[in-house]
Amino acid sequence: MSLTYAIVVNGPAYGTQAARSAYQFSCAVIELGHILTRVFFYQDGVLNSNALTVPASDEFDLVAAWQQLAQTHQVELHTCVAAALRRGIIGEQEAQQHQLLSNNLASDFEAAGLGSLAEVLLSADRVIQF
């Protein structure tokens, strides 16, 4: 029996193990035949969506890994818009709204409100937080 999973990531891309563990868990869920519908990045987890993150050449590129996961398995990557704005992660729409010259929300990530989190909490069989 396959289950529907959602993941909530509170840890940054680098500096703690939380986001990398969330990514590894997400891959395992899919590999075991379950469905991963959405990953919601909240608090410092929004730093996983920064298009300007450039890890050292010998480090794992977690931002690119999330993007690849989304593209390959049609997983939605939602970033809390309020938490992102506080941390300097700006999507195209927010850049226009606040009259900023550029944006840095990585492709395949979508700025979303807490309603998106509430929706997935109600619809998923399992929600795992990192």
**What phi and psi, each to the nearest 5 degrees, are found at residue 10?**
-105, -15
Residue 49: name the closest of 92, 17, 98 by CA: 92
Alpha carbon of 61 to those of 88, 100, 115, 127: distances in Å?
A: 20, 27, 29, 25
* Residue 80 annotated among the catalytic residues of the structure: yes
Under a CB-based contact definition with an 8 Å cutoff, are residues 40 and 66 in contact? no
Catalytic: which of 80, 81, 84, 106? 80
Q: Tell me the catalytic residues.
A: 80
